[in-house]
Every structure is written in C-alpha cells, then in structure tokens.
C-alpha cells in the first residue's frame, strides 16, 4: 500500500503511520489519536511497525501492507448512514483475508476530533472538503473501504475510489434507516438544519445509484447474508 504525496490536514502524515492505521483497523482496534503520534525517523517507524505487523499478522503480511505485491482491486462500500457499511466492511475483509479501512474513522484519527465536532466547529462545507481531501490522500490496494455517507457529494473523490476499486452500494428502505439511526444530532451526518432522513435519502439516493457498480438490497437480510451476496456478486 502506498500513500499519495498529498497533505489535506494540518501537517504531513507519514506513509507508515497511515498503513499502520489500516493494519490496526483490520483488528477492530480503535486508534483515536494517530494524528498525535510523534514524528520519528523513518528507520524507527520501520522497526516499530515491522515488529507490530509480524506480531499481529505474521511476516507474510508485510509485503502486502507496504505495497510490494500487486494485490486485487479495492471494494468500496457506499450508502446512507445506518445501512451497515462499517460492520459489513469488517466482515467482508475477514472473509476475503484483506485489509479494512473506514474513512470516517481515519478522518477522525487524523483530525483528533469526532465527525460531529468537525461539523459543529468548521461547518458542512469544510467537512465535505476535508472528507474529499482524505479520500484523495489514500492510495490503497487489496482493501475493503467503508466510506462516509456524504462522500458521493464529491465527484472527484468518487472517481478516485472507482479508479482502483469496485463501488458497492448498500441499500435499505428509508423506513429501516429511520429505525436504525437514533443519534442523528451526534452521529456526524452531513445534513442541513431542519433536513430529515427522508429528505436526505431523496437527495443522496440518485448519487449512490450514479456511482454504484453493484447495488445490494439489505432488506430483511442479516450481516452474513449480505456478505455472502456481495461475494457471490463479485465472483459472478
């Protein structure tokens, strides 16, 4: 995995720290403060992360982690908040034996703030610009990527994701989404003041359909069924 020479944040982030974040994400370990890791010489980064990778994955995973092998294309999950992109993404990555990256979590880690804090302090436009920047910052392979629901507002970001990945839209009826989302005011959802889930759904669904190469209907399906359907569709 390699990182594009692009800096969207407050300061440069080393390549090794970013792919270490992906490796840690594979194990579901929460890293809330990667952005505050001290800047250290590259040689020490290599030693520390090499040991970390060998401990968690075994030495055979290291070439994949640093982009020394030509791995398969990414699987990019898009969809409304509450459809299960992060949960399905982790299960899908485990089934495929590949990496997992949640762009919302990555953005929070690099910013050192929650999504809602970014929205509250910086505004919706700045949030969407930061989201686009962090997506453009990534150049990963053999990774399941769970995106934020608002990533489809950026054509530039979506073209970048599609360049090396298959775009999978996880779809649910708006009624199910309303049932699932109980923390709308603190979840970090990009929506205008007074906008409802139904209005947001109507606004975003055409964009999800526009960019999706595969659409998976999650109605009345559990996580295992959804993962199996995605795998079957990808292999067909």
- Does 190 fall in a domain? yes
Would you state the structure tokens that stand for residue 214, as one six-digit string?
Answer: 């595969």
What share of the chain has pLDDT > 90, as a percent?
Answer: 64
Would you state the structure tokens that stand for residue 28, as one six-digit string?
Answer: 């579901």
Highest mean pLDDT among 8-12, 65-69, 165-169: 165-169
State the burial class of residue 59 (Cβ atoms within 10 Å of its Cβ: 0-12, 13-18, 19+).
exposed
Residue 87 has pLDDT above 70, yes or no: yes
Highest mean pLDDT among 21-35, 47-61, 148-162: 148-162
Higher pLDDT pick, 93 / 8: 93
pLDDT tens string 105-119: 999 999 999 999 999
- DSSP class of residue 39 equals P
Contacts of residue 50, Cβ cutoff 8 Å, sequence gap at least 6:
62
- Does 76 fall in a domain? yes
- Does 196 fall in a domain? yes
pTM of the model: 0.74
- Does 2 fall in a domain? no
| Domain span at 94 | 70-235
- Does 36 fall in a domain? no
CA dist 43 to 46, 108, 159, 166, Å?
Answer: 5, 27, 34, 35
- Does 51 fall in a domain? no
Task: Provide the domain count of the chain.
Answer: 1
- Does 24 fall in a domain? no
Q: Going by DSSP bridges, is the β-strand pair 74-78/165-171 parallel, antiparallel, or unpaired?
A: parallel
- Does 219 fall in a domain? yes
Q: Which is nearest to 155 in space by CA: 143, 167, 140, 142?
A: 167
Distance CA 186, CA 64 (A): 36
Residue 49 has pLDDT above 70, yes or no: no
Segment holding 7, helix H or strand E: none
The CATH number of whichever domain residue 95 belongs to comes to: 3.40.50.300
């Amino acid at each position: 995995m390699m990182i594009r020479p692009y800096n969207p944040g407050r300061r440069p982030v080393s390549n090794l720290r970013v792919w270490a974040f992906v490796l840690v994400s594979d194990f579901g370990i929460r890293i809330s403060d990667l952005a505050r890791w001290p800047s250290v010489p590259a040689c020490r980064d290599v030693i520390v992360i090499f040991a970390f990778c060998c401990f968690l994955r075994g030495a055979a995973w290291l070439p994949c982690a640093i982009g020394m092998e030509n791995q398969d294309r990414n699987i990019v999950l898009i969809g409304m908040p509450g459809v299960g992109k992060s949960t399905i993404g982790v299960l899908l990555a485990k089934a495929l034996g590949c990496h997992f990256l949640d762009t919302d979590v990555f953005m929070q880690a690099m910013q050192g703030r929650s999504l809602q804090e970014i929205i509250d302090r910086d505004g919706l436009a700045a949030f969407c610009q930061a989201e686009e920047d962090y997506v453009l910052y990534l150049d990963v392979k053999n990774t399941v990527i769970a995106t934020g629901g608002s990533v489809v507002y950026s054509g530039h970001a979506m073209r970048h994701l599609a360049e090396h990945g298959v775009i999978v839209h996880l779809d649910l009826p708006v009624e199910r989404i309303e049932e699932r989302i109980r923390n709308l005011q603190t979840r970090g959802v990009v929506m205008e003041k007074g906008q409802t889930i139904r209005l947001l759904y109507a606004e975003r669904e055409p964009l999800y359909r526009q960019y999706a190469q595969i659409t998976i209907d999650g109605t009345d399906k559990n996580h295992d069924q959804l993962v199996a359907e995605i795998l079957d569709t990808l292999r067909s």
